Amino acid sequence: MWDTGEVYKVEVYARVRRAVQVDGMSIRQAARDFGLARKTIRKMLQFSLPPGYERKKPIQRPKLGPWLGIIDQILVDDRSQPKKQRHTAKRIWDRLKAEHAFSGGYTVVKDYVRQARLRHKEVFVPLVHPPGDAQADFGEALVVIAGKEQKAHFQCMDLPHSDDSFVVAFPAENTEAFLEGHTQAFAYFGGAPRTILYDNTRIAVKEITGDGERKPTEAFSALQSHYLFAAKFGRPGKGNDKGNVEGLVGYARRNFLVPVPRAATWEALNAHLLEECRKRRERKLWGHTQTIAERFERDREQLLPLPPAPLEACQKRTTRVSSQALVRYETNDYSVPVEYGHRQVLVKAFVWEVVICAASEVIARHPRSYDREEMIFNPLHYLALLEQKTNALDQAAPLAGWQLPEEFVELRRQMEARLGKRGRREYVQVLRLLETFSLAEVAAAVRQALRFPAIAFDAVKHLLLCALERRPPKLDLENYPHLPVAEVALTRAVDYQVLLGEAV
């Protein structure tokens, strides 16, 4: 074997070996012609290819030797520190000089640190993935929804056997998103995986005991009980334990979310992600002769059947309605009908909406807000109270920004002009028809009342019911004493003389 650091190209090897072994050139002459030592020529004749340099003895570091233990201890201590606060080779060299009177150069320290870190790098065992198993994780990416740039938290579920995948995005990484993501993934795959591997997310793991046992959260236990899958958890801080889904997170970010997607709604963004997942099924990945869709058939056979109905993917919380008929969830307030003020209610927070229940009755539904300190009103919740407190009509916050057709504005103007304060109350009564009927139906009745004119709540209600029942309206003016009465005089024979005189 070589005992010198000189390594020559295969081309030089071939020329030297041919000159000596075929052309009969002597070793002395070859050394002169090729400018090499005779010892080197003899070694070239022993090997058809350069064997490479092999060191027979460990590298001797006489200047560094007394400090190797200190360097090794620093590297061991670094393993328990954050990655961004671990020692560089330069920092170790600085500390050796400042704290231990080291007089050697930086290069010898740098070379040793590099080799020491290679020795401690983790090596992995290749794994096989049985059909029907899955891995799940969240990732983050920037998106633009309705013109607003924001962070999307996208949940990925991967079936490592077939590499089939599902990706869905949410405004936040929370319990309801976690549950909704699973529900949609299982529907996409057509079944629930037998086993799912997770990291130690607080959404699923309430506590890790001293012996490593994971205590699940109530929401995660409910998810498992509903779909009957088994759960496994990786080692804390070891993302490589679920390398397949970690790879999917990066793949989805690079391929599904580049360039930064722009969508009108979250639903539109998720429709895009779903389509990308379906298109990926047609790919043949490296090392496979079948497409993902073909390999997925083996996964499909092992999936658990889905229950008759999906899990109610929400966070549930009991709370009390405030004196302003508001219910707080996280940092926002949502309205309920005023008759439920001060009562205890159940809040169901889904990803896209907040549902509020009293006993077994749903009393309010609102779009979910992810802003902070917002008040989300339904104006209809406050109309019963405004009927009693009509002076608050113009300053009522729940009605601010409520866009009603122009005919409602005209109806209120005429009602208040004719009836004063009573007209304002009747106007609120007209608005209360929206508690039962659609805006289009009530607006049509208001327009008809303005044409007659029949400016009263009873008239609007009568016209509305007649339109729904498809019968002609019969307005009896005796029921509306405040309306102007049409006076019709009796006809006399002499009145016709006027007409005859004009004819002449």
pLDDT of 266-295, one tens digit each? Answer: 999 999 999 999 999 999 998 889 999 999
- Tell me how far apart the alpha carbons of residues 25 and 16 are, in angstroms, rounded to a whole number: 9
Task: Name, in order, each residue with C-beta under 8 angstroms of 390's C-beta and a sequence gap of 6 or more.
Answer: 421, 424, 425, 428
Q: Hey, is 348 helix, strand or coil?
A: strand
Helices (H), 83-202: 89-100, 106-120, 175-189
pLDDT tens over the chain, length 504 residues: 344 444 557 778 888 888 898 888 999 998 888 888 898 888 888 877 776 656 666 666 667 888 888 998 999 898 888 888 999 999 999 999 899 888 888 988 898 898 888 877 765 555 567 899 999 999 999 999 999 999 999 999 999 999 999 999 999 999 999 999 999 999 999 999 999 999 989 999 998 887 778 899 999 999 999 999 999 998 765 555 677 899 999 999 999 999 999 999 999 999 999 999 999 999 999 888 999 999 999 999 999 999 999 999 999 999 999 999 999 999 999 999 999 999 999 999 999 999 999 988 999 999 999 999 999 999 999 999 999 999 999 999 999 989 999 999 999 999 998 888 889 999 999 999 999 999 999 999 999 999 888 888 999 999 999 999 988 887 665 555 555 555 656 667 666 666 666 555
Q: Hey, is 86 helix, strand or coil?
A: coil
Q: Which tokens is 48 given?
A: 């058809």
pLDDT at position 503 is 54
pLDDT at position 48 is 73
Cα four-point dihedral sign 360, 364, 368, 371: negative
- Tell me how far apart the alpha carbons of residues 4 and 55 are, in angstroms, rounded to a whole number: 9
- Tell me how far apart the alpha carbons of residues 207 and 469 are, in angstroms, rounded to a whole number: 62
Alpha-carbon distance values, 277 to 257, 281, 283, 464 (Å): 12, 7, 11, 50
On whether the 1-57 domain is CATH 3.30.70, my answer is: no
Q: What is the CA radius of gyration of the chain?
A: 41
pLDDT of 351-398, one tens digit each? Answer: 999 999 998 899 999 999 999 999 999 999 999 999 999 999 999 999
Mean pLDDT (the chain, rounded): 88
Q: What global pTM score does this model have?
A: 0.70
pLDDT at position 6 is 45
Give 133-302's CATH code, choosing from 3.30.420.10, 3.30.70.270, 3.30.365.10, 3.40.50.2300: 3.30.420.10
The ranges assigned to domains in the chain are: 1-57, 71-120, 133-302, 315-376, 383-479
Nearest to residue 459, comparing CAs of 417, 435, 423, 409?
Answer: 423
DSSP output for 401-437: T----HHHHHHHHHHHHHHTHHHHHHHHHHHHGGGTS
Amino acid at 69: G
pLDDT at position 448 is 92
- Tell me how far apart the alpha carbons of residues 3 and 151 are, in angstroms, rounded to a whole number: 59
pLDDT at position 420 is 84
Amino acid at 352: W
pLDDT at position 237 is 59
